[in-house]
Structure 1
Amino acid sequence: MAPEDNEPVLDWPLPVGEPGREVWYSLVSPTDDSVAFWYRYTLLSTEGGRQEGRLWAALTDREDPDRSVFVTRSVPFEQVRARGTPSFSLTIDDDELTSASAVGSIPLDADGDGEDADHGDPGHEGGEVSWDLSYDPDPYSFTPLRSERLTNALAKTVGTGKHWSANEAVRMDGEVTVGDRTIEFEDAPGHQGHTLGSSPPDSWTWIQCNDFEDRSVVLEALDIEGTLSICLRRDGEVHALNRLKHVVGPKSNTTEHDEPGFWRFSGSGEGVDLRVTVRAPEDVKWQTVSYMAPDESLRYNAHCSLADVTLTYTLDGDAPVTLESSAGRAEWVGAEPPLPDREYPPEW
C-alpha cells in the first residue's frame, strides 16, 4: 500500500461552509461467514455550515438477522485529529484508525438529542458496539482509474471524487463486541478503503470479496453511473481492468444487469477474461442508511455484507475456473432509495 493512499487529502478542519467529505471504512467477516462487520470514520463539512466527525458501525448476523445492528455517533471537529506523514492516523474523540489497525466504540442506545442513532435490535439495550482490529497492510491499492492525472482532472471538473482501496485484501485479527456479545476474528478476510469528494456521484454499485476457497483470489468492482472498473488478483498477480479503455468505449467492461440485489458484469484484458454474478440472499439482512453529501443532498445506501458471489475467470487462455463465496460485500447507492420499500434511517 502506498502510504499516501490513506492520508487525509482535504485540509481538515475545513472553513465553515466549505464543502467536503472524506471517509475511511473497513469490512471484515470471520471465516465461517456467520456475521459481517462494517465500520466507518467520516469527516463532513457542508455548504450550509454543518461540520462533524462521525463513527458508525454495522453488524450483519446471518443466523439471527434480528441481532443485526446499525449505530452511529457524531462529535464536533474539536475532537477530530487527522494526521498524514510520517504515518497516517485519524482520531475521532478517543477512537483511532491507522493504516494497520482500528479501535472504536459507539453506545448502543441513542441519547435522544438527535445526534446519535441506534437502528439495531431492541434486545441490545445498554452497552456499546466496540471494535479492536489489526492487520498487515496490503502492498497493493486499487483505484477506479489507473491514471492519477485523469482522476484528478475528473475530480476537479466533474466532481467525481477520489477513491483508494488502500488495503484491498487483508487478514484481520481482533474482536468486536455488541452489548454482552463478543465476536472473535482470527485471520479473517477484510478490506479497508478511503474515499472523498465535494459532490459524490448520483449512483454506484460496488462489490469486494476475498473469501473464496482459493484464498489468493481477490475481486473488486465499482460501477459509477455506467462506467465499470474491475480488479482480479490471484497468486500475487494483479489484473486491473481500470485503464480508460476498460472503463469507456467499445471494448470496455460491461454491466449486463444491475438492480439492487442482483448484478452481473464481465470484463476482458490484462491477461484475464471474467464474468461475475452478485446476489443478495433473501435471508440476509440489508443494512440501509441515508447520509448527507457536502451539498446537503442525500445518498441512500443499501448494503449487503454477506452477498453470494459467483466468479468465473480465465487466465492467459487456460481452462476457466469458477469460484463461489457467500461473503461478498456489495452495495447499491443512489440519490433515490435503491430499495423503495425499505427504511433509510439518517446517519446523523
Structure 2
Amino acid sequence: MDIYFHSQSPFYEIWYGKCVISPKEAFWFRYTLLNGKTKEAALWAIYFHPEKIIAQKKVYALSDLSFTQDVRLPSGLLNDTKTQGSLDRLQWNFIYENKGGSFDPVPFLFKFLHLSQSSTKTVASNAHFNGTLTIDGKSHSLYNVRGMMGHVWGKKQAQEWTWAHCNTFPEEGVIFEGLSARIHHHLKPLTSLYLKYNGKEYFFNSAIDLFKTHTRFGYTFWHFSAHHKDISIKGTVQSIPQKIAVVTYTDTDNSHLYCHNSKLATLELSLIDHKTKEKKSLVSESAALEWVTREEPSGDILL
C-alpha cells in the first residue's frame, strides 16, 4: 500500500474504490487525509440503487489517522487486500484481489517537470471483491463482484475533471478507464485513456495523447475519441440526475469542489482495429462516471 504523506503541507491523499454489486446496485468508498488550511481525515461511502442513494461520511482529526502497512481510521481500515468501514447506515468488510491491470494517466514527462500539483494512479483496474456489505442493518454477502481501487495525492487538486471506469461489460476481460482534467481554468482539458480488449492493453496516456485526444464533458455526460497506432476509440458516458450523488470536496486552500458521482452510468464504446478494419461496439449500464467542478451546484448536495 503506497503512502506518500509524511506530515508535509499543503498536502492531500485519497485512497478509494468502487464495486458493482448487481446490474442495478453499486458501492463507493473513500479514505482521505487533508493537511492544508483544514487538517482532517475522513471515511466516506455511497450506496447507489435506482430507488435510493445513501451517502455517508465521518470526519476525524488528522491525528486519528495512522499508518503501518495499513491506512487506519477509528472506523475504517484499508490495505493491499482488505477494505473495512463502519458508518451509521453503511458497513463493509471486503477482501479484494486485482485480477490484472493498472493505469497511470499522468505521463512521466509531466511528473519529471512537475507540471501537475496532483498525481493519480489506478492500482487495481480489475479488482474483484468478496465479503459483506450492510445497508441499514441488512447484510448482503458479495461474491467476486467487480470494481477497482485508486489512489490520488498532491499539493492541490485540479481545477476540474471527469473520470470514468468500467470492467462490467458483457464481453469478458474488457476494461476501460479514462480521465480528462483541466489543470487551470484557462487551459483545455488533458485526457488519458486506457483500454483492455481481446487480451491486449492500449494506453492513450503519452504527453502527445493528452493534447490530441478529443474530449467534451459536463453534468451527466462525457464524450471522447482517441487514436492509437493499432486501434481507434470513440465513447460516450451518460448518467441521469436520479443516479448522481453530489458530494463536496475540500482542497488544501479551503476552496470547495463538487463531485457529481455516478456508479450506474451508461458507457458506449466504438472501436476500430486498424489492421483488420474490424468494428466493435461495447455497452455497459454500470460504469463509473464522476464530474468534479468548482462551481457550486443548484441542486441537492448529499455531503
Which TM-score bucket, shorter chain as reference?
over 0.9
* Other-structure match for 1:320: 279
Matched, 1:60 2:48: yes
User: Equivalent residues in 2 for 1:86-125 (5 A)?
Assistant: 88-107=69-88
% identical equivalent positions: 22
* Other-structure match for 2:11: 20
Partner residue of 2:154 out of 197, 201, 220: 197
Secondary structure of 1:332 counterpart: strand
C-alpha distance in 1, partners of 2:82/2:125?
Answer: 14
* Other-structure match for 1:206: 163
Partner residue of 2:252 out of 286, 294, 298: 294
What's the CA shift for 1:343? 2.2
C-alpha distance in 2, partners of 1:234/1:187?
Answer: 21
Deviations 1:294-328 (A, max 9, x none): 11111111111100011111234331111111000
What's the CA shift for 1:172? 1.4
Is the 2:45–2:90 contact (alpha carbons within 8 Å) kept by the matching residues of 1? yes
Secondary structure of 2:180 counterpart: strand
What's the CA shift for 1:232? 0.3
Runs of 4+ residues over 6 Å off in structure 1: none
Letter of the structure 2 residue corresponding to residue 219 of structure 1: F
TM-score by structure 1 length? 0.81
Computed over aligned residues only, the root mean square deviation of the Cα atoms, in angstroms, reads: 1.7
Matched, 1:277 2:236: yes
Letter of the structure 1 residue corresponding to residue 213 of structure 2: N
Is the 1:281–1:308 contact (alpha carbons within 8 Å) kept by the matching residues of 2? no
What's the CA shift for 1:287? 0.7
C-alpha distance in 2, partners of 1:329/1:196?
Answer: 20
Letter of the structure 1 residue corresponding to residue 244 of structure 2: W
* Other-structure match for 1:77: 62
Letter of the structure 2 residue corresponding to residue 21 of structure 1: Y
Aligned residues between the structures: 296
Partner residue of 1:150 out of 94, 106, 110: 110
Secondary structure of 2:113 counterpart: helix
C-alpha distance in 1, partners of 2:229/2:245?
Answer: 35
Name the CA shift for 1:197/1:43 in 2 (closer, same or farther; >3 Å): same
Is the 2:34–2:62 contact (alpha carbons within 8 Å) kept by the matching residues of 1? no
* Other-structure match for 1:167: 124
Is the 2:102–2:122 contact (alpha carbons within 8 Å) kept by the matching residues of 1? yes
* Other-structure match for 2:263: 305
Deviations 1:27-64 (A, max 9, x none): 0012x312110000001111x3x3221101000112x1
Name the CA shift for 1:188/1:95 in 2 (closer, same or farther; >3 Å): same
Q: Which has the larger strand fraction?
A: 2
Matched, 1:183 2:168: no
What's the CA shift for 1:182? 2.3
Letter of the structure 1 residue corresponding to residue 176 of structure 2: L
Is the 1:198–1:295 contact (alpha carbons within 8 Å) kept by the matching residues of 2? no
What's the CA shift for 1:94? 4.6
Secondary structure of 2:71 counterpart: strand
Gaps of 5+ in 2: 183-188
